[in-house]
């Protein structure tokens, strides 16, 4: 079935018998047993809820997986994911990575005995050089946050699979509509469902997706044990948001391409990071492993003063954290998404005083360009 149809109709299994077109919100913490030793299939909503189950089934179908588990946020999903590992285990991660993930790895997981190494994962040889007998996983974002580094998922899987190392891919930026990491050799997919899957900046959610039966059972056990399950109402918001995922991703990408090309022409813009530009170093890989380039753009300007000016002068575009919603947002990574990194760590990643990140929304592209122009001039 085509992804556009899956987005609209979701999971094939219907729990409602009334014919309701909208998936019902089963706002119940617990479910009655029909008899001793018998169950309706639902006992307690921390374990499973019909509304959340419909959402998880939909996300699994979109990703081509057999299991999807929905959490209260993207960070809750990654926190649970790290519980797959034991003290002493080694994980290799993209060096250009969402700051919240780095904070979790460095401030929480390290004290619990996990070890991390970071690499430019666009170069598979740099990953291979870091692999040890204790390496249990490679964790990548592609495109990365915020400098849009693209990693060849298939090339990395060719390193990890023969060694029994898990390949984990954060697919938040492109979503399953544009990129399917499981088909390229990934073992687990991470999503901040808050972003494009929801698409309306009105709730938090996270997902872990796999096609491996045993991994899926482990992830479900972790969700039940840790308790960070997505609520029925938030699950319904995600179901509703996913219905327009395809059309949103297409239009937001169309806007992003127009804006990226315009930014290249402005004298105060020094560099544009967008995987859909032919001069992007991994444009060919993106074209091969994904069906689209998404709508995330980062760009550097000529000075810190110009960056601050843009943030304070934009009118239509909102200066706010997060991404993936219908509204265009602009972010200052050094003060927001990556504020917990040291200046040296940020500088090494190119996250400096002149870098801005743009999440392109659904507004009329010319209106967005006009807003950027007046803010830059």
- pLDDT for 342 equals 87
Residue with tokens 């803010």: 375
Residue bearing tokens 């000016």: 309
Torsion-angle region of residue 32: left (phi > 0), alpha (psi -120 to 50) or beta? beta
- Fold of the 3-242 domain: 3.40.640
Say whether 267 sits in a helix, a strand or coil: coil
Taking Cα atoms as reference points, which of 145, 173, 142, 144 lies closest to residue 157?
A: 142
| pLDDT per position as a tens digit, 97-150 | 999 999 999 999 999 999 999 999 999 999 999 999 999 999 999 999 999 999
Active site residue 319: no
Position 13 scores a pLDDT of: 78
Among residues 15, 46, 103, 126, the one annotated as catalytic is 46
Task: Reply yes or no on whether 111 is catalytic.
Answer: no
Backbone angles phi, psi at 84, to 5 degrees: -70, -20
Is residue 225 within 8 Å of residue 263, measured between CB atoms? no
**Residue of 180, 195, 251, 357 with catalytic role:** 195
Fold equal for 3-242 and 246-376: no
Out of 3.30.460.10, 2.60.40.2140, 3.90.1150.10, 1.10.3720.10, which CATH number does the structure's domain 246-376 have?
Answer: 3.90.1150.10
Reply yes or no: is the peptide bond before residue 143 cis, omega within 30 of 0: yes
Q: Which of 152, 170, 187, 234 is flagged as catalytic?
A: 170
Listed by start position, the domains of the chain span 3-242, 246-376
Tell me if residue 43 is catalytic.
no
Known catalytic membership, residue 42: no
Return d(Cα 116, Cα 63) in angstroms, integer.
Answer: 27
Report the side by side order of strands in the sheet with 269-273: 269-273, 296-301, 355-359, 329-331, 318-319
For residues 60-66, average pLDDT: 97
Candidates 26, 42, 98, 274; catalytic one: 98
pLDDT at 217: 97
CA separation for the pair 358, 364 (Å, rounded): 15
Give yes or no for a contact between 212 and 189, defined as CB atoms under 8 angstroms apart: no
Q: Which residues contact 170 (CB under 8 A, 6 or more apart)?
A: 98, 101, 139, 140, 141, 142, 189, 190, 191, 192
pTM: 0.96
Distances (CA, A) of 162 to 158, 209, 212: 7, 21, 16
């Amino acid at each position: 079935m085509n992804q556009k149809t899956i987005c609209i109709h979701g999971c094939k299994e219907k729990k409602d018998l009334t014919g309701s077109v909208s998936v019902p919100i089963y706002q119940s913490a617990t479910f009655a047993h029909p008899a001793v030793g018998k169950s309706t299939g639902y006992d307690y909503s921390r374990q499973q809820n019909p509304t959340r189950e419909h959402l998880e089934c939909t996300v699994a179908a979109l990703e081509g997986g057999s299991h999807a588990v929905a959490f209260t946020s993207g960070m809750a999903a990654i926190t649970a994911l790290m519980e797959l590992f034991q003290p002493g285990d080694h994980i290799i991660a993209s060096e250009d990575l969402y700051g919240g993930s780095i904070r979790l790895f460095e401030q929480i997981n390290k004290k619990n005995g996990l070890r991390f190494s970071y690499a430019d994962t666009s170069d598979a040889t740099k990953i291979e050089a870091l692999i040890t007998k204790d390496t249990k996983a490679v964790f990548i974002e592609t495109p990365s946050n915020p400098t849009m580094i693209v990693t060849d998922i298939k090339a990395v899987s060719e390193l990890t699979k023969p060694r029994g190392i898990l390949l984990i891919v954060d697919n938040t930026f492109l979503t399953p509509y544009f990129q399917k990491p499981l088909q390229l050799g990934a073992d687990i997919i991470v999503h901040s469902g808050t972003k494009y899957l929801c698409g309306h900046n009105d709730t938090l959610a996270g997902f872990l997706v796999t096609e491996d039966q045993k991994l899926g059972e482990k992830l479900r056990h972790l969700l039940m044990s840790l308790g960070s399950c997505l609520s029925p109402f938030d699950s319904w918001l995600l179901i509703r948001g996913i219905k327009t995922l395809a059309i949103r991703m297409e239009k937001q990408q169309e806007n992003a391409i127009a804006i990226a090309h315009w930014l290249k022409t402005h004298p105060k813009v020094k560099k544009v990071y967008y995987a859909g530009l032919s001069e992007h170093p991994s444009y060919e890989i993106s074209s091969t492993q994904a069906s689209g380039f998404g709508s995330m753009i980062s760009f550097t300007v000529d000075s810190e003063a110009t960056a601050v000016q843009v943030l304070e002068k934009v009118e239509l575009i909102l200066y706010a954290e997060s991404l993936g919603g219908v509204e265009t947002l602009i972010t200052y990574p050094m003060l927001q998404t990556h504020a917990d990194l040291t200046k040296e760590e940020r500088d090494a990643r190119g996250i400096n005083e002149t870098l801005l990140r743009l999440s392109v929304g659904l507004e009329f592209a010319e209106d967005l360009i006009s807003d950027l122009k007046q803010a830059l001039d």
